Amino acid sequence: MRAYKLNIDSDFEQICRFIAPHKSGAKIMQKKANLNFILIKDIKAVAVNILKQDSLSIGAELVSSHEAIFSGDKLENALLIANDKQIQALAKKELLQDFGLKSLAKFLSNSFKKPKKCEIMAVLNFNNDSFNPSSRVSIDNAISRIEDLISLGVDYIDIGMVSSRPGSEYIGAKAEFQRVSPVVDLIYTNKLYDKVEFSLDSFDVNCLEYALDRGFSFVNDISADPNLAFLAGKYGAKYCLMHKNGDPKTMQIGVKNSDILEIVSGFFAQKLEEIGSSKAKQIYLDIGIGFGKTARDNMALIKHLEHFLSFGYPLLVGASRKSIIDYYSPSSVDERLAGSLYLHQKAIENGASIIRTHDPKEHIQMLKLHNAYKDLEIV
């Protein structure tokens, strides 16, 4: 007999293919293979006691204050530690309880299933004030740059015409359209939209309609304007809803650490209610790294990205060469490739479906290694 300690993140299905258990047994055991940490804030002490007893009865654990048992109506914080099977059982139990536990039951009933694959969205900026000079493209070399990206195998190309970096000002709809139309015409005339999906990073209706009429299939909206989701639905296009605090000109002035998971969750809940009937082909959620947030809050959003899977929509993450990297490791924009790859790898591990990047070649290589590591057979 030989025994080996395997990585806890090993693919359970891959292990089962090696061992060959009965399919029904494997299905049951898979729910026990994934451990969840659920942080519960502002829960009444009386509810803590109920939840602790219910958790223990099914083999789960609830970490709580040592004073919670005597605290009555006092609000407490707690940590639920449970596998997927226990989460399902606990959701049913708490649905029958009071003291706010019904709302917890609804949250526990959500699916937190991570996507099986992640896609790469490459960035091309047709403006001269993007924070990353290497992403800037002119109309003269647009075709060659786009064809290079297609050859690399990117899934999307995100076209930007105006900068949204901290401190930037919007150039106006007329000026943006003057930049948009020749690039869109070039893509349309050469039928490049048949080779890759194009996204327009814009919140102007006229610019977006012009692009959607000419082969673009993705609305990348940093303004969270519900009307743009309905515009995407009109064209059967995809739509990305992004969170930000304030506008680009002032959003990073005086930012402070916050209860960022609650803030972004509340934002998504409200906006998704507004756009739920938009008929967009697919809605993506973007946590908005660098848009009115501290470095700590940006890091927390990536670390706990899995929380946002609870909304049931795929997640897009773009931390490419942003100032969060400079905060933790002082560096200029052109020195932030390693930091970008690290943050994006963590985002992929935590449930991202699309990575938006200025460095698609390096990210495609990283993704290939990530997939090989994840799918490695038992040795």
How far CA 25 is from CA of 20, 35, 111, 322, 324, in Å, comes to 10, 18, 21, 46, 45
Q: What is the DSSP letter of 122?
A: E
Please report the sign of the dihedral spanned by the C-alpha atoms of residue 343, residue 345, residue 348, residue 354.
Answer: positive
Known catalytic membership, residue 322: yes
The alpha helices in the chain, defined as continuous H runs, are 12-19, 23-30, 45-57, 84-94, 101-108, 142-152, 173-189, 205-212, 226-234, 260-275, 295-303, 323-328, 337-349, 360-374
Measure the CA–CA gap between 136 and 16, rounded to whole angstroms: 48
Residue 366 tokens, joined: 């990283």
The CA distance from 92 to 36, in Å, is: 17
Give the Cα separation of 19 and 51 in Å (integer): 36
Instruction: State the Cα–Cα distance between residues 260 and 304, nearest whole angstrom.
Output: 10
Backbone angles phi, psi at 173, to 5 degrees: -60, -40
Residue closest to 253 by CA, chosen among 289, 223, 298, 291: 291
165, 322, 336, 361: which one is catalytic?
Answer: 322
Which listed residue (356, 361, 368, 374) is catalytic? Answer: 356
The Cα 156–Cα 215 span in angstroms is: 13
- The residues annotated as belonging to the active site are 322, 356
